[in-house]
Amino acid sequence: MAADLTDARRWTRDGTTLFLAEAVLDEAALGAPSALPGWTRRHLLAHVAANAQALGNLVHWAATGEPTPMYSSPGDRADGIERGALLPDAELGAWLRAAAQALDDAMTKLSAGQWQAPVLTAQGRTVPATEVPWLRAREVYVHAVDLATGLSFAELPAGFCAALCDDVIAKRRNAPGPALVFAAADTGGRWELPGQGEGGTVTLAGPLAEITAYLTGRAHKLTTAGGQPAPVLGPWL
């Protein structure tokens, strides 16, 4: 995990508050495109609500020892999002808020021992339950930006953005792509991707928020020292 449990729990709560505030939109705005291709803001709200329930399954697993996958089948996630996006505004908002609160309540009840219980993520990784709050913090903060209401990574906590860069770098480290060095001019943070292709190392310097946006595949303003566009990266998740 890219952050400790205390930080992740705080970011989960603060990120949820931020997402819920950004999600207060009228009918026309909810039906408008999000920053994610093919998804309206309704799809994004449904996804974040369903994600809370899915992560709640992992918390239940940790609390009881009963294997409870995030999703019942490969198509369950996509089907739930499509169904949720068709809900009336009030029902969609109520689902989003209730699911977020239920997840927070369930995590609060875990004992120290239960937090260490192994659970299986949707990507097939076995992790301790302590990773669940980080997975949720990542969802609510990044998707708050994806709502495309004007919020940017620059308005997210710097500590969260640095932890997210750590997380993304770890996931991209063995993937095909260019060799890159990132230098956050405002915080002094530095990350490296060894690259799996040919060519020299490219240095990308800029604000932490722009590096975070680039690494997660979002719109950004990073360029090379020579002013060339930053290399295109493959999918993050």
Residues 154-203: pLDDT tens digits? Answer: 999 999 999 999 999 999 998 888 899 999 999 999 999 998 766 789 99
Helix (H, G, I), strand (E, B) or coil at 156: coil
Residues 212-223: pLDDT tens digits? Answer: 999 999 999 999
Strands 190-193 and 202-206: unpaired
Centre a 10 Å sphere on the Cβ of residue 179 and count the other Cβ atoms it contains.
Answer: 17
The confidence score (pLDDT) of residue 3 equals 75
- Residue 225 gets which letter from DSSP? T
Helix (H, G, I), strand (E, B) or coil at 79: helix
Domain ranges for the chain, please list them: 5-151, 156-215
Give the type of residue at 148. A
- Residue 229 gets which letter from DSSP? B
Token match 């990073």: residue? 222
Q: Is the pTM of this model over 0.85?
A: yes
What are the backbone dihedrals phi and psi of residue 212, each rounded to the nearest 5 degrees, phi first?
-60, -45
* Domain 5-151 in this protein, CATH class: mainly alpha
